[in-house]
Amino acid sequence: MQVTINVNGEDYTREIEPRHLLVRFLRDDLGLTGTHWGCDTSNCGTCVVLLDGEPVKSCTVLAAMAAGHEVRTVEGLEVDGKLDPIQQGFMEEHGLQCGFCTSGMQMTGRALLNRNPDPSEAEIREAISGQLCRCTGYLNIVKAIQWAAAHPAEKTVGS
Q: Is 133 in the site for ligand FES (CB under 6 A)?
A: yes
Run of H or E residues at 56: strand 54-57
Count of residues in the chain: 159
Residue 117 carries which side chain, given as an amino acid letter? P
Among 20, 27, 57, 72, binds ligand FES (CB under 6 A): 57
Query: Whole-angstrom Cα distance, residue 27 to residue 141?
Result: 24
Among 6, 14, 39, 114, binds ligand FES (CB under 6 A): 39
Between 3 and 44, name the residue whose CB sits nearer to ligand FES.
44
Residue 103: CB partners within 8 Å, gap ≥ 6? 34, 35, 36, 46, 48, 73, 74
Contacts of ligand FES in 3-22 (CB under 6 A):
none
Stretch that binds ligand FES, among 79-87, 107-115, 129-137, 142-150 (CB under 6 A): 129-137
Query: What 8-state DSSP symbol labels residue 137?
Result: -
Contacts of ligand FES in 79-98 (CB under 6 A):
96-98
3-state DSSP helix/strand/coil % of the chain, to nearest 5: 35, 15, 50
Among 6, 14, 37, 159, binds ligand FES (CB under 6 A): 37
Among 3, 25, 38, 146, binds ligand FES (CB under 6 A): 38
In the complex, the smallest distance separating the C-beta of residue 154 from ligand FES, rounded to whole angstroms, is 29
| Residue 71 φ/ψ, nearest 5 degrees | -115, 140
User: Binding residues for ligand FES, per CB under 6 A?
Assistant: 37-40, 42-47, 57, 59, 96-102, 133-136
